[in-house]
Amino acid sequence: MEYPGFFSKEFDSFDMWLCTLNPCADERNGFGFQYSALIYELILSALLILDQDLRTWLRDDSRTCHKRHHSLLHFTNQPAQALAVASETKQPIVVPLTPMQEKPTPIAVHGNCASKLPLARTGTVLLSTALVDIVIGNNMTISTVRCMVDTGSQASFITEACVQRLGLARRHSNVPVFGIGDTGPVHPKGLVSCSIAPKGQQQPVIPVNALILPELIPKMPSVPLPYTGWSHLKNLKLADPDFHTPQPVEMLLGADILSHVLLGNTIVGPPGTPIAMNSVFGYLLLGKLDLDSSVPTSFQVCFSSFDNDNLQRFWELESIPEKRSYTPDEELCESFFQKTHTRNADGRYVVALPFKPDAPSLGESRSIALARFHKLEYRLERNLKLKADYHACLQEYVDLNHMELVDDQPSVSESYYIPHHCVVKESSESTPTRVVYDAGCRSTSGYSLNDVLLTGPKLHMDIVDVLLKFRVHSIALTADIKQMYRNILVRESDKDFQRIVWRTSPEQTIRDYRLRTVTFGVKSSPYLALRTIKQLAQDEAERFKLASPVLLNDVFVDDVVSGEDSEVSALALQQELIGICGAAGFELRKWHSNSPALLAAVLPSESHGERPENVLFAEMEIDKKVKVLGLQWNPKSDSFNFKVQVSSIKCTKRVILSEIAKIYDPLGLLSPVTLFAKHLIQLLWIAKVDWDETPPVDIVNSWSSFVDELPLISQISFPRYIFNNTNPEPIQIHGFADASEKGFGACVYIRYKDQEDFIQTHLIIAKTRVAPLSVRLTIPRLELMAAVLLSKLIEKVMLTYSGRVRFDQVYAWSDASIVLAWLHSSPHEWKTFVSNRVSEILRRIPADRWRHVPSADNPADAASRGLLPAALVQHDLWYHGPSWLHLGQNSWPIQNPVRDTCEEKRNVSFIPHVLNRIQVRAERRPVQCGDIDFFEVFSCSTGSVTTSVIVLKEEAITGISRIGNDMFQQNIGNTINTRTIDSLNQILTNPWYRSYYDRAYNLYSNENRKTLNATKKAFMGTLEHNFSQIHHYSY
């Protein structure tokens, strides 16, 4: 039997050289790693005869770069998730060298499909159709198409035939569409941008982005309708005068542009006749018609889809944010800000809109803004209080000079009109009615203002970091920056890109205005606002030494959350914050503190002099619960509280998800309860329950118990201030990790002695994750994942408090002996999944910091298994950790030597059958394969005078075949399935080797013997090291 490649009998002799035809950027400079991979390649080649699949697999290109060389030459860090999957499924891992692209997010579409059913007298449902003109290009070429207005679709669509007929330019789109017909996801043939207008009219012009599909609806309606006229439609201009005649639909207008189309008023006729909805195209007809029909009738069936991946992330991932570097666009935006920002004579900052360097031109946008304003007026006319509040908001813009009236009309490319509407937020104390601007509304060119602006880097602080730092200060103070966006000016040349249309009454003429300040809804505004605050802190650092660091580190969006360790220093900080903000035209409001003196300093007095009732008034305010970054804080008790009101007791997946989302707990203080809730969602996922379907009985019972006890979490409180800044005693960190079949969790506590020499412990932060469904992990591996999570939490705590709190010792506790065994051994001893995670943990927390805790004393047990609210209320172990933490260290659990009880070690096999037939020989020339059966020439990784190679020929093949079902069987399976390297290091260091080395040694002269000894020593050291490294990688 002939085998191609290395073992082909046609190769009587050959030379072995280093191939450089297909190098990779990822290959190592040193030859040692390449050499080890080459050896492994040749040994695997000996197994070709054993398995046809293996033979095919070995001849594939590199699994990493797809070039014709061995995949093992790549030593990339593989994603943890990929490694986890491969470890469980035994499938090859494909890891791209380039950054992985984001997975396209499917569009949730309520689409239409036609189903023909033979019906008796049931009537016909008429859907809204209209004739529209498609405006093509700058030369305003117009073509009329028939479209359907579909309120149930979240996207607009156009047929392939229409795109080709009109010659529309398409762009690539890889977004799958769900809900069109019953054939699963549909992949559009591209995306087109065009503009539409009512037939025969030039205005309004509405931009549309439409996905291209092969076909929409062949005919609408499916059969001719006997229309003789309805009285309520008399004298109305219909959007489609031939609505009753079956015709193809070439375009579907979805809910994404309905706000541009519908005008609001509706005319209702007698029963059995359609309603007429007014639109910019004319009146749209919709409704059921009482007509006799025994022919097949086309029904429009609505399907919906949901991005289940996002839902799964809700209960599966609770990631800890990590800092990242700026992208090129973010660096460009930052550089642009530094070059263009200025301060005017009043100290206010003036910023420029960061347009993209290659931004396309904006088209005409006033007509769209005008149509949207007419619709807004119609809504406001039906609610006079809302109308008054909304116009009062915009009038305030004018009064404060945040908006100015303009009469000139610049060229289209030099202006942009932003549609606006109102949003009511009843819970807001200061601005229950707000103006919202839609800078994402596309102009006639198909681009919006947001499309041509840079976003800028995300500058807001991590909310968890801000809350953690808030727990350091004994005296707390909070405030927010009033109208932060509106107190930052936009430079003169950019103001015309922030135009709006407005009037206070339909009887007035609509006027054009332009916004003079940073505007909500503009993509770059969050960056410009936060960057301005940081610039203020830098510019005024010398004058306000206390306040400047607070603006840099203790501000989340427009909320200042900080404090000091004494009232004197807190009062000084308060005055500096007022001063530094006032220097740039900002005002601080909504002051809250646990100190009456701080509130008295900012509360208004009723007389010109100081009134003694100030302190009493402050004490009344201090008893009020306030929200600090979403958490309820009681300044009087100085504690965090929780309150959730269940609005529905109905048990469906939709209701369960909605109610659980109300539990806001960024610090994880309620982790046992949230884990119970997330596991409940996971059970719904496993049961494949639809959104409004009643779940199985066991889930219903669990949900009922959860809902009944959920109000009890109002009894739970955690102290805000948890440190002892007045006592120089060292502070310890104690972290606990645990896992169960439901999930895994970690919690971190601090331990210190107070002024009375009592030991105090407090929960700082906790996190939980449910066990993943995509990869079934064993309990030991889940315990290891819990240890990884704990190491991240401890690292986060230490980094957040760096420079503020001095920690003396760090202790990490786990009740999993097997995990402790992994952590107290070298990572390379374990299989890939364990090895990678052990290395990650040890980078953060040394092995000698890990201790064993009895399961009964592990507070993370509650986080990994979940608790109902009533059980958590009584769970003192969760609040303060194990009782022995309040005792001396000699009362802590006794630590026994860690034993290796693990099944994750790498297996090593030895093959005497084959090795006994191997001969060793070395020469200082290219080796002729036909001269010997097996040869070895030693060389070091720096490039010796000889080249090293191991050749297994016919004897090796015969030997491996003979023991294929014996002691090497498991090793072959590991090679085929996991592509790991086993046993070669043992092979080259076993006693058999010495005899063959002696035979080669006798063949050499004295000079050559010195070379042989030196190269052998260097080679063996290099080989042993390299193969220990290769154990971490997959083939």
Mean pLDDT of 340-348: 96
Please count the residues of the chain. 1035
The bridge status of strand 511-515 relative to strand 403-406 is: antiparallel
Lowest mean pLDDT: which of 79-93, 671-685, 772-786?
79-93
Higher pLDDT, 167 or 931: 167
pLDDT tier at 72 (50, 70, 90 boundaries)?
Answer: very low
pLDDT tier at 799 (50, 70, 90 boundaries)?
Answer: very high
pLDDT tier at 223 (50, 70, 90 boundaries)?
Answer: confident
In this prediction, residue 28 carries a pLDDT of: 39
pLDDT tier at 932 (50, 70, 90 boundaries)?
Answer: very low
- The answer, yes or no, to whether residue 668 has pLDDT greater than 90, is yes
In this prediction, residue 588 carries a pLDDT of: 95
CATH for the stretch 360-452+485-522 = 3.10.10
* Residues 697, 706: Cα–Cα separation, whole Å: 14
In this prediction, residue 170 carries a pLDDT of: 81
Residue 342 sits at the vertex; the CA angle it makes with 337 and 347, to the nearest 5 degrees, is 135
Cβ contact 118:294 at 8 Å: yes
Mean pLDDT of 732-755: 95
Higher pLDDT, 299 or 232: 232
- The answer, yes or no, to whether residue 61 has pLDDT greater than 70, is no
Cβ contact 683:773 at 8 Å: no
CATH for the stretch 653-719+721-891 = 3.30.420.10
- The answer, yes or no, to whether residue 904 has pLDDT greater than 80, is no
Mean pLDDT of 119-132: 72
Residues 6+ apart with CB under 8 A from 958: none
The pLDDT tens digits for 538-553 are 999 999 999 999 999 9
What number of helices (H) and strands (E) belong to the chain? 30, 38
R_g of the chain, CA atoms, integer Å: 36
Q: Mark residue 734 as left, alpha or beta (left: phi above 0; alpha: psi -120 to 50; beta: remaining).
A: beta
Residues 6+ apart with CB under 8 A from 370: 204, 417, 501, 510
- The answer, yes or no, to whether residue 795 has pLDDT greater than 90, is yes
The pLDDT tens digits for 25-45 are 444 344 344 444 444 444 444
The pLDDT tens digits for 481-520 are 999 999 999 999 999 999 999 999 999 999 999 999 999 9
Amino acid at 811: Y
- The answer, yes or no, to whether residue 916 has pLDDT greater than 50, is no
- The answer, yes or no, to whether residue 480 has pLDDT greater than 60, is yes
Strand, coil or helix: 1014:
helix
* Residues 748, 880: Cα–Cα separation, whole Å: 10
pLDDT tier at 287 (50, 70, 90 boundaries)?
Answer: confident
- The yes or no reply on domain 107-303 and CATH 3.30.479.30 is no
In this prediction, residue 974 carries a pLDDT of: 43
Mean pLDDT of 854-871: 96
- The answer, yes or no, to whether residue 125 has pLDDT greater than 90, is no
List the domain boundaries for the chain. Answer: 5-76+909-1030, 107-303, 360-452+485-522, 653-719+721-891
Higher pLDDT, 909 or 10: 909
* Residues 452, 441: Cα–Cα separation, whole Å: 12
CB atoms within 10 A of CB 681: 20
User: Look-up: residue for tokens 């097996």?
Assistant: 934
The pLDDT tens digits for 374-416 are 999 999 999 999 999 999 999 999 999 999 999 877 666 689 9
Find residue 301's DSSP bridge partners.
Answer: 113
Higher pLDDT, 500 or 1015: 500
* Residues 71, 359: Cα–Cα separation, whole Å: 42
In this prediction, residue 622 carries a pLDDT of: 53
Cβ contact 280:196 at 8 Å: no
User: Look-up: residue for tokens 């040749």?
Assistant: 42
Amino acid at 694: T
pLDDT tier at 261 (50, 70, 90 boundaries)?
Answer: confident
CB atoms within 10 A of CB 327: 11
| Helices 779-800/832-844 angle, 10° precision | 20
| Helices 525-539/328-340 angle, 10° precision | 50
Mean per-residue pLDDT over the chain, rounded: 75
Higher pLDDT, 623 or 807: 807
**Whether residue 204 has a cis bond before it, omega within 30° of 0:** yes
DSSP 860-918: HHHHHH---HHHHHT-HHHHH--GGGGS-GGGSPP-PPP----S-BPP----HHHHTT-
The pLDDT tens digits for 431-470 are 678 899 999 998 988 889 999 999 999 998 999 999 999 9
The phi and psi torsions of 762 (rounded to 5 degrees) equal -140, 140
Mean pLDDT of 184-208: 82
pLDDT tier at 426 (50, 70, 90 boundaries)?
Answer: low
Higher pLDDT, 86 or 868: 868
Higher pLDDT, 973 or 778: 778
Residue 143 sits at the vertex; the CA angle it makes with 140 and 148, to the nearest 5 degrees, is 120
